[in-house]
Amino acid sequence: MIIRTIFFCCLAMAWTSLAFAQGYGQPQAEPVGYRPAEGEIEVQEGGPYIETEVPNNYAPPSVVDSGVWQLMVPRKGSATFTYLGGGGNDGLGITSIDTSASFMAPLPIWGGMYGSLTPGFDWVSLNGPSGFDLPSDLYRGSLSLGFIKPFESGSQLVVGISPTFATDGHADASDAFQFNAFGMYNWKRSEKFSWQFGIAATGRDDIPVLPVVGFTWKPNDNWEIEASVPRPRISHRLQWFPSLGENWAYVAGEFGGGTYGVDRNGTSDQLTLRDFRLLLGWERRNPGGFSPAIEAGYVFGRELEYESDGSKFKPSDTFLIRASVSF
């Protein structure tokens, strides 16, 4: 099961890279940049993620002429490397690589609806003390299917599902499989202000259901305030190298971790990781092009817990370094 998940995710990423390199299926309007506006739903590390910003007149080429429903057009690819420092008797080092590719296509229902398909694959390496039984590697494969309904007012309704397989490679399928779901309404009151209301079934043992609530306020072209759960953020535009794209600095909060099926001394179990993060970051928003980002931060409130007997390990606070790129 793990090998098949890795194969299909890698195949999707390879096809996406080739399609982007050849310019296949580019939307008629200007593509969206690094960060979708008020559209990111991420309830745990590794997903589910769904691209929800729909440009005007977006359509795959020759859908009408061919008479055949084509493959979804690639909209976005991303790769992220994250490192959490470890060390000491109560330390826990974590290294992870997350990858995803988003596809989008118009759907001939409800007067202009769009479908979004996002395969993703993540690898996590744990380096903890010998006194607490931990797997050395964790894997997560997911396939998010979303439906986006934009309204003339600029508001959007987003719903979707994200079947996920999260495991150490040895756990029973019943402990590793997760059926996540999410829904959000982005109520745009003006060009500067919008509300977000929603809910997500996370697949986590500690918080199985998470509200998605908050607002986004853009008082001017240089400031963005996203007061929302689960990832609040304040961003400021920097006047650096404007010809290469927009540069933004930001401070953000984040809820990290996730639940995985693992083999524990020959018995299948579930392991949940949880932490809280305060991040300082920089990103370049380059519409339709290469968009890098770098983050550093402080990680606290860390906890690992096994589902079967409730045994816990609380690692010490640490630092985080993250680098990512989208295209």
Which class for 66: exposed (0-12), middle (13-18), buried (19 or more C-beta within 10 A)?
exposed
Q: Of 41-55, 127-141, 243-257, 273-287, where does mean pLDDT reach its minimum?
A: 41-55
Convert the pLDDT of each residue in 105-125 to its tens digit: 888 887 788 999 999 999 999
Residue 240's CB: how many other CB atoms inside 10 A? 13
Distance linking the first and last C-alpha atoms of the chain:
29
Please give the distance of CA 161 from its chain centroid, rounded to a whole number: 14
- Mean predicted confidence (pLDDT) in 292-312: 95
Which class for 3: exposed (0-12), middle (13-18), buried (19 or more C-beta within 10 A)?
exposed
Q: Of 69-73, 132-136, 197-201, where does mean pLDDT reach its minimum?
A: 69-73
What per-residue confidence (pLDDT) applies to 73? 64
Q: How confident is the model at residue 242 (pLDDT cuts 50, 70, 90)?
A: confident
- Average per-residue pLDDT in the chain? 81
Q: Does 141 score more than 50 pLDDT?
A: yes
Tell me whether strands 137-150 and 93-107 are parallel, antiparallel or unpaired: unpaired
Q: Of 47-51, 181-185, 203-207, 303-307, where does mean pLDDT reach its minimum?
A: 47-51
Q: Does 133 score more than 80 pLDDT?
A: yes
Q: What are the two backbone dihedrals, phi and then psi, of residue 21, each rounded to the nearest 5 degrees?
A: -65, -35
Please, what's the b/e burial string for 107-119 (b: 16 or more CB within 10 A of its CB; e: otherwise)? eeeeeeebbbbbb
Please list the alpha-helical segments (H only) found in 134-229: 173-176
pTM: 0.80
Q: Extract the tokens encoding 19.
A: 């399609």
Tell me whether strands 73-84 and 318-326 are parallel, antiparallel or unpaired: antiparallel
What are the residue boundaries of the structural domains of the chain, listed by start? 2-326
Convert the pLDDT of each residue in 159-218 to its tens digit: 999 999 999 999 999 999 999 999 999 999 999 999 999 999 999 999 999 999 999 999
DSSP H/E element including 294? strand 291-306
Convert the pLDDT of each residue in 262-272 to its tens digit: 999 899 999 99
Q: How confident is the model at residue 52 (pLDDT cuts 50, 70, 90)?
A: low
